[in-house]
Each structure stands twice: as structure tokens, then as C-alpha cells.
Amino acid sequence: MKTREVTLRVDGWPPAKNEAKSLLSAGHSHADRVIKLLEAAQQASVNHSVAVLYGSRPIGLDLTVSSPAEPTADATNFLGGVGDVLEVRDRRGLLEHLGDLADVGLYDNDRQIHEVYYRWRQAPVVAYVVKLWELSD
């Protein structure tokens, strides 16, 4: 069976868990980051039929952040933020402020994530790459 995977490239910083308020709430300080990531995920879902990793199969998550200087947020905050944004939100209530992006999600539940990688690389511009893939049996 072919392993399904999706890779997203996004300009700017990833959303980071940095306060008690949900990243998906209206008015969150990282709302612009959330929108950029959701737009990238939406585009990937449209372009690749393998992009959505629904179901109970375990998946991996790889996050690479690039910037001129070390990020001010740490790996766990970035990973948690990216995970929260890319998870399906059918259990999260109304998110009308997100418009058609409210329905964008690439996997069912964070419990599916069984393998995680994070790295920071020095680069001239701030950007990040998220890769999600279905783990083999």
C-alpha cells in the first residue's frame, strides 16, 4: 500500500501555542498565522487527493522552521500550534470567523501523531515546512 503524505510550505512563522486562548478563536494574536497555514492546507487538499489523512492510522509530523535568527518560540509551542490548526475541527464548536477555512483539516485527531521531528535552520527569510505522512504498518 502506498503511504499517503502531504507537504506544506508557508511564509512567516508557524502558529505557536502561547496563551490559554485557542489559536482558532477570533482575535487570537496568531490569527494571521493560522489563516496562512489553513490556506496552505486547503490548497494541498484541492491539489492532491492523498493530502487528507483521515482515519485512525498513525501519522508522522515533521516541522522545519527557517529564519535569520533563532525563533523566539520553542519547538513544543510551534508543534502544538501546527497540530491544533491542522486537526479536523468537528468537535470544536462554531468557527464562523474562519469562513470556508473552518472546515479545513488534514487529519482526525492529535492521537494519530506517533512520530515527530522538529528543526530550525538559519535562512534569509522566515518560513516553515510541515510534512505529514501516514506511517507504515
Q: What is the pLDDT of residues 81-125, one digit of tens each?
A: 999 899 886 655 566 776 777 777 888 888 899 999 999 999 999
DSSP 16: -
DSSP 2: P
Q: Which helix (H) or strand (E) holds 36?
A: helix 31-47
C-alpha cell at 90: 468537528
Report the alpha-carbon distance of residue 4 to residue 58 in Å, rounded: 11
Taking each helix axis from N to C end, the angle separating 31-47 and 75-86, rounded to the nearest 10 degrees, works out to: 50
- pLDDT for res 105: 82
Residue type, 29: S
- pLDDT for res 91: 52
The domain segmentation of the chain, as residue ranges, is 5-134
Q: For the segment 22-63, what is each residue's pLDDT rounded down to a tens digit?
A: 767 677 677 889 889 999 998 887 765 545 666 778 999 999
Report the alpha-carbon distance of residue 38 to residue 100 in Å, rounded: 10
* CATH placement of domain 5-134: 3.30.1330
- pLDDT for res 50: 47
- pLDDT for res 1: 46
- Burial of residue 92 (CB within 10 Å: 0-12, 13-18, 19+) is middle
Any idea which residue has 490559554 for its cell? Answer: 20
Flag the least confident range among 6-10, 16-20, 62-66, 79-83: 16-20
Q: How confident is the model at residue 79 (pLDDT cuts 50, 70, 90)?
A: very high
